[in-house]
Structure 1
Amino acid sequence: MSRALIETTNLAVNLTPRPIEPSWIIEGNPVAQWCVLSQSADGLASTMVWECSEGRFNWYYDFDETVLILEGSIVLENDTMPPTRYVAGDVIFFKDGAHARWHVEGRVRKLAFCRKTQPVWLGFALRVFLKLRKILLPADERQAASLMGSS
């Protein structure tokens, strides 16, 4: 991956196999593929395109994931949510720790933004640090410090 501050890509990418955990498959033979489009410098966030053929399976999330359905349709459900159909243009957010039963109807293609979550105390400490930095450093010094850190 590039270390440029601005990266561009296209959704017309070559996908590679990304098999679904066999014990998660409920019905059918869903075949999943993906391509990572971008990744944050700290490795905690990434954007990918993912597609899957027809089937039903469980999915267990150990990160936050925001999904934009690009093509096709899915039906999602879990113990607290009745079966709900999502189609191209729909956005879904799965929190770290979520579980969903997926039913891919035919084929689905999605754009996903995934982020590993940090302990609450670490996020709070970072917000306090950034707030103090904003208060104590004038804007031009913050920009200079930021530029020096990226060199």
Structure 2
Amino acid sequence: MELIETNNVVVNLSPRPIEPSWIIEGNPVAQSCVLSQSADGLASTIVWECSEGKFNWYYDFDETIMILEGSIVLENDAMSPTRYGPGDVIFFRDGAHARWHVEGRVRKLAFCRTTQPFILGFAAKVYNKIKRVVFLSEKRVAPGLAST
């Protein structure tokens, strides 16, 4: 596995239909392409595109998006309709619900992360902290320069 991967948002997209029961109006057609995925499978970067329509979206993971092209109007029970366009960044927490109104077409870059139970997240933080300390300690002593 490469430690650094590169990609471009100009990619071939595959159909990713919206759940039919979520569609409110129109015939929105969604497509996406996974650009990267973490080794543990809990995080990914995706390019997603959708044609005009209105639909509900229910989030079962954390998702941060940046609108690349087009515009949307988002709303939910706690948020009045708000328009977003290129360069806007929106964060949806695991458990969020939003009504999307895609105006014409939208293309977004999405950073998705599956939420871990608290105890697993805490254990991962401890492990990563120990790993950083040990790894940095090993890097500080250059090979061949250690005292004898």
TM-score, normalised with respect to structure 1: 0.87
Residues 138 and 28 from structure 1, CA distance in 2 versus in 1: closer, same or farther, beyond 3 angstroms? Answer: closer
CA deviation after TM superposition for structure 1 residue 128, in Å: 2.7
Amino acid at match of 1:18: R
* Aligned residues of 1:134 and 1:142 also touching (Cα < 8 A): no
Q: Sequence identity, in percent?
A: 76
Residues 141 and 116 from structure 1, CA distance in 2 versus in 1: closer, same or farther, beyond 3 angstroms? Answer: same
Equivalent position of 2:146 in the other structure: none
Q: Does 1:34 align with 2:43?
A: no
Gaps spanning 5+ residues in structure 2: where? Answer: 141-148
From the CA coordinates, give the structure whose radius of gyration is larger. Answer: 2
Point out the more displaced range, 89-98 or 116-125: 116-125
- Secondary structure of the 2:71 match is strand
- Secondary structure of the 1:47 match is strand
Equivalent position of 2:114 in the other structure: 116
TM-score, normalised with respect to structure 2: 0.88
CA deviation after TM superposition for structure 1 residue 83, in Å: 0.5
Equivalent position of 2:18 in the other structure: 20
Describe how 1:37-52 pairs up with structure 2 within 5 A: 37-52=35-50
Q: Kindly report structure 1 stretches of 4+ aligned residues shifted beyond 4 Å.
A: 132-135
CA deviation after TM superposition for structure 1 residue 141, in Å: 2.7
* Aligned residues of 1:61 and 1:97 also touching (Cα < 8 A): yes
Residues 34 and 138 from structure 1, CA distance in 2 versus in 1: closer, same or farther, beyond 3 angstroms? Answer: closer
Residues 8 and 59 from structure 1, CA distance in 2 versus in 1: closer, same or farther, beyond 3 angstroms? Answer: same
CA deviation after TM superposition for structure 1 residue 10, in Å: 1.1
